[in-house]
Amino acid sequence: MAKPKIAVVFYSTYGTNHRIAKTAAEAAEAAGAQVRLRRIAETAPSEVVNGQENWKRQLAAMQDIPEVSHDDMIWANGYFFSTPTRYGVPASQMRAFIDTLGGPWSEGKLADKVATAATSAQNVHGGQETTLWSLYVTFMHWGAILVPPGYTHEALYETGGNPYGFSTEAGKLDDAGRKSIAHQAERLVKYAARLPY
């Protein structure tokens, strides 16, 4: 049986979702998947990015990670998305990429694949759940099969018990969080391996 192919696709402004994505990619690979770690292109004006030292530093730190392409999306049979929330929905950079996927979607090339998501926000009531729901609505339009973590591991209770996907406050990623992300990625790989491709 071929290894599941997992695309870990993330956008990160200050580093939290970069760390989430790296943790997910490492766990998926350890669970037996082929993994492509891919970042979303920065669409904010350069003067805005360069005007904030932490944002500028984070963008520079990710230059070795390829930007996600349509080929990556078609190649994968499972998706792990991670993005910060912006006003209760995914960051505009993430949405901008998703909005380019009309071609592959209309050809059925995003359908019948497993998908899950993670997020971060400035505070615990900063739109984390609605950001995940928004991504899941998109995945349903693709015809993807949702693989949320639910309450299937004790680590979920240690990180606040979000059954939709890992979420955290910006800048916070502890051992319990990493366990929760790893479980979510392993669960994604497990169900990707069960589907006929």
Backbone φ, ψ for residue 160 (5° rounding): 105, -5
Of the candidates 144, 195, 194, 177, the residue with the CA atom closest to the CA atom of residue 22: 177
Contact present, 182 and 27 (Cβ < 8 Å): yes
| C-beta of residue 94 within 8 angstroms of C-beta of residue 132 | no
pLDDT tens per residue across span 15-66: 999 999 999 999 999 999 999 999 999 999 999 999 999 999 999 999 999 9
Cβ(154)–Cβ(117) below 8 Å: no
User: Residues 155-170: pLDDT tens digits?
Assistant: 877 776 789 999 988 8
Phi-psi region of 143 (alpha: psi -120 to 50; beta: other; left: phi over 0): left
> By three-state DSSP, how is residue 146 classified?
strand
pLDDT digits (tens, 9 = 90+) for 171-197: 888 888 899 999 999 999 999 999 876
The CA distance from 187 to 156, in Å, is: 13
- pTM here? 0.95
Nearest Cα to Cα of residue 41 among 95, 115, 88, 106: 95
Predicted confidence (pLDDT) per residue in 99-155, tens digit: 999 999 999 999 999 999 999 988 877 788 999 999 999 999 999 999 999 998 888
Q: How many Å from the N-terminal Cα to the C-terminal Cα in the chain?
A: 10
Phi and psi at 139, nearest 5°, equal -60, -35
- Kindly list the structural domains of the chain, giving each domain's residue range(s) and its CATH number in brackets, ordered by start: 5-194 (3.40.50.360)
Q: Is the pLDDT of residue 1 over 70?
A: no
Q: How is the chain split among helix, strand and coil, in percent rounded to 5?
A: 45, 20, 35
For tokens 């292109």, the residue is 41
